[in-house]
Structure 1
Amino acid sequence: MADMVDMVDILPAGLAHARVLAALHAVAFADPALSGPAWDEGAFASLLATPGVEGFILTLEGEPVALSLWRHVLDEAELLTIGAIPDARGRGLGGTLLRHGLAHLAGLGVTRVFLEVAVTNTAAIRVYASAGFTNAGRRRGYYRHREQSIDADVMVTDLA
Structure 2
Amino acid sequence: MARPGVYQQVLLSDLQLRPLAEEDLPSVLDIERQGYSHPWSEAVFLDCFKDSYRLWAASHGDRLAGYAVVAYMAGEAHLLNLCVHPLARGQGVGRYLLKHLLATAAHEGMSQLLLEVRISNRPAIDLYRREGFHEIGQRPGYYPAPDGREDALVMVRTLSR
* Structure-2 residue corresponding to 1:141: 141
Contact 1:115–1:156, Cα closer than 8 Å, also in 2:
yes
Flag the structure with higher helix content: 1
Overall identity of the aligned pairs, in %: 27
TM-score by length of 1: 0.87
The alpha-carbon deviation at position 42 of structure 1 amounts to 1.3
TM-score by length of 2: 0.87
Mapped pair 1:23 → 2:39: no
Contact 2:59–2:66, Cα closer than 8 Å, also in 1:
yes
Partner Cα distance (1:14, 1:64) in 2: 11
SS across alignment from 1:149: strand
Matches within 5 A, 1:32-47: 32=37, 37-47=38-48
The alpha-carbon deviation at position 143 of structure 1 amounts to 0.2
Matches within 5 A, 1:8-157: 8-29=15-36, 32=37, 37-48=38-49, 50-157=50-157
Contact 2:10–2:91, Cα closer than 8 Å, also in 1:
no
Contact 2:117–2:124, Cα closer than 8 Å, also in 1:
yes
| 1:8-36, Cα deviation, whole Å (9 max, x unpaired) | 1111013343333222212222xx3xxxx
SS across alignment from 1:90: coil
CA RMSD between the two structures: 1.8
Show structure 2 runs of 5+ residues with no match.
1-8
Provide the aligned length of Structure 1 versus Structure 2. Answer: 152
Partner Cα distance (2:48, 2:75) in 1: 19
Task: Give the aligned residue type for 2:102.
Answer: L
Task: Give the aligned residue type for 2:47.
Answer: S
Partner Cα distance (2:63, 2:150) in 1: 31
